[in-house]
A and B are shown apart, each in its own frame.
Chain A
Amino acid sequence: EAQVTQNPRYLITVTGKKLTVTCSQNMNHEYMSWYRQDPGLGLRQIYYSMNVEVTDKGDVPEGYKVSRKEKRNFPLILESPSPNQTSLYFCASSPVGLNQPQHFGDGTRLSIL
C-alpha cells in the first residue's frame, strides 16, 4: 500500500530535550515536505526537499532541522524544543512534476511542556 508513515504519532516532552520525528514514504517520490498545522493558521511549510541531499526552508523553519540522506526518509529534528513548537505536524511526499498531488502522513501531535 502506498503510504507516508510518521513516527511517533503522539509525543509529550519537555523544553530542551532533543527529539526526532521520522517520515518514510514507499512511493519513490522525489519531493518531501514538512508542515505544521495550527488552529486558524492552516498548514505552514517548515522545510522541503526536492531530492536526496537537497533541502530548503519553507515559511517557518526556525527551530527545526531536516536531513535527506535517503530518498524514502525525511526526518524532522527539533534540537531544543520550546512550547511554541507544540503543534500537529504532517509529512508529505509527491513526484516532482506539474501539479502532482501531495500524499500526507497521518500526522504527529507534539506537546512541548
Chain B
Amino acid sequence: QQQVKQSPQSLIVQKGGISIINCAYENTAFDYFPWYQQFPGKGPALLIAIRPDVSEKKEGRFTISFNKSAKQFSLHIMDSQPGDSATYFCAARLAGSARQLTFGSGTQLTVLP
C-alpha cells in the first residue's frame, strides 16, 4: 500500500523549462512534506520541505506548492538546468510517528541541454 503517490515516473524537460512533479496522499495525519534529490551513485539529499499550514515555499529555483484540501503537493523547478537531472522523491511524515518518512515512488528528471 503506497501512502504517497508520485507522478510522473519520468520527465524530460528542455533547458530553461519548468519541471513539475506531483504527489498525492490520503492520510490527513501527515504533517511534514519534504522533497529529496538523488544523483546517480549517491543517496537522497533533502532539497526543500513544507508544512501543511503553508501553501507555498520557495528556495531559489525550487518551489513546493501545497493544496491541503486536495491532499496534493508538487515540486516546481524553474529555469531547469542539465545539472538538475536526477531522481526526485516526495515524502511525508506521520505526525507523532517515530518512523519518520514515507516516500513516493520517485521521478527521474532529465533536462536536455
Q: Which of B56-64, B69-77, B100-108 contacts A (4 or more CB under 8 A)?
A: B100-108
B113 CB within 8 Å of chain A: no
- The interface size bin for chain A is 20 to 34
Q: Which residues of A contact B93 (CB under 8 A)?
A: 99
A75 CB within 8 Å of chain B: no
Contact between chains at B100 and A4 (CB < 8 Å): no
Q: Which residues of B contact A107 (CB under 8 A)?
A: 41-43
A24 CB within 8 Å of chain B: no
- With A42-B103, A42-B104, A42-B105 already in contact, the answer to whether A104 and B34 are too (CB < 8 A) is no
Total contacts A-B at CB 8 Å: 58
Distance in angstroms from A66 CB to nearest chain B CB is 14
B32 CB within 8 Å of chain A: yes
In B66-90, the 8 Å CB interface with A consists of 89
Per the bound structure, the CA–CA distance linking A35 and B98 in Å amounts to 15
Contact between chains at A101 and B44 (CB < 8 Å): no
Digitize A92-113: 1 where CB-to-B-CB distance is under 8 Å, 0 elsewhere.
1010001101101111000000
- With A48-B98, A99-B49 already in contact, the answer to whether A106 and B103 are too (CB < 8 A) is no
- With A43-B89, A101-B34 already in contact, the answer to whether A106 and B104 are too (CB < 8 A) is no
- With A40-B105, A99-B32 already in contact, the answer to whether A90 and B43 are too (CB < 8 A) is yes
Q: A residues engaging B (CB < 8 A)? A: 4, 31, 33, 35, 40-45, 48, 50, 56, 58, 90, 92, 94, 98-99, 101-102, 104-107
